Structure 1
């Protein structure tokens, strides 16, 4: 069991907030301008801000590297990400996740294994999606075999019909989720809206929760204090980046007070939501 077991809530209203550390453009990416020292300084600052505000875990991702490779990233990107993840993990006492955009699960898992991170996020774990990078195919077989080879206690959190993408054929939300869990052996699911900052659909979350009552399902985009109540008690937790930034602008630093406000809103909504006394595994 990985460190994400620390996210198990003591009470059902305690739904964890997982803060996203958006790295600036890394060396070699089209918009790179900062040194690794500057990148790490910013990443550590954001990580500490999340921790100060009450976040339960973090995901470190190469958000600034757009336009993204659709699968394998370059070795220098892996090296830069590994340095950043290691620095963040040393700076805070929270479980850490890794997301290598757009869909390099092998790199993410390798980084997690050597840095001691707890989980990875995989945008397309099973199936195939049409994206702005082209057609991305899931490689669950490679990811699971590598995890076994490395002996790494790293969880796989799989997006279901991920944002900024569309399935190649008529695939329902339920079918995609079932494939990720039963055929791709994902440890948790992530439900998003259509794009970064756009909200997921509460009705879709309720459908997934009805089908998979014991599976961790996280809301992965468009999370704000005003919206969280609609996702409770079905959500296992919330992955948030944009709203926690100063003035809600994604390029800005993380604001501890905004993180704290979101955590407080989730606790308040959890106490008042119907069925809020039923704890979910996270």
Structure 2
């Protein structure tokens, strides 16, 4: 069965340039989003600081981590869903530690292996430090890692299936995320199939899922991470989730038999 993961895109957190809400107001926003997504029938949710742009590369201020820990803890306490953490742009270790202390289930790490040119500069993989932190904490938190991550260009530009094999065999990933070049753009379906054939790990779609294309991805992927405009009220990117759109996808995707 395809795993459906909804996004809680947080508004700007305290300390970020566009912040207008108190931490308590952001917590209430996140809890409302979690309730909407749970009612729609998704399997998991990712709490992400999308509103904090422009993003730091891989270290974020303490106020951001403190805020994320408070928010994620409340979401975990008040939801029966699996909860993931993503701290943009690539604060994978800090996200992992937030997940550890709050009881979350997994993180998304944009750059676990390799090196990428991004709009934040050159970002290098954090796998060596992250896997040692996981061992030190004796943690079972899973690492969902992007391959040829969106909004980036790989300096170690091997074919996508080779990069996926490296993530699985050398990076310590528990699942592989395949995306398009930017958030609104879905991945090439052939790239998804290549990655599926290259690794034994779950393969998830990380961008571009819409009400018009989700069916074909339900046939080939193990999971969908959903948060594009079709699933937002009034199509607002980063805004509140549209529960009806999510529910439609969940119902129809559940009825589709995988082809790969």
TM-score range with shorter-chain normalisation? over 0.9
Superposition TM-score, scaled by structure 1 size: 0.89
Distance 1:251 1:105, change over 3 A: closer
- The question of 1:224 aligning with 2:210 is answered yes
Equivalent residue in structure 1 for 2:118, among 131, 153, 160:
131
Aligned residues: 259
- Name the Cα RMSD after superposition: 1.3
After superposition, what is the alpha-carbon deviation per residue over 1:48-106, rounded to whole angstroms, capped at 9, x for unaligned? 10000001000001100000000110111100000110111112100100001000111
After superposition, what is the alpha-carbon deviation per residue over 1:220-241, rounded to whole angstroms, capped at 9, x for unaligned? 1111232122224320010001
Q: Which residue of 2 aligns with 1:239?
A: 225
SS of aligned partner of 1:77: helix
Superposition TM-score, scaled by structure 2 size: 0.96
Deviation at 1:172, TM superposition (A): 1.4
Distance 1:221 1:103 in 2: 17
Aligned ranges 1:69-148 → 2 under 5 Å: 69-148=56-135
Q: Which residue of 2 aligns with 1:158?
A: 145
Equivalent residue in structure 2 for 1:34, among 21, 26, 35:
21
- Structure 2 alignment gaps of length 5 or more: none
Which has the higher mean CA deviation after the structures are superposed, 137-146 or 200-209?
Answer: 200-209
- The question of 1:192 aligning with 2:179 is answered yes
Q: Which residue of 2 aligns with 1:263?
A: 250
Query: Contact (CA 8 Å) 2:187, 2:205: kept in 1 or not?
Result: yes
Distance 1:244 1:160 in 2: 24
- The question of 1:215 aligning with 2:209 is answered no
Structure 1 residue runs of 4 or more that deviate by more than 3 Å after TM superposition: none
Distance 1:170 1:152, change over 3 A: closer
Distance 1:49 1:232, change over 3 A: closer
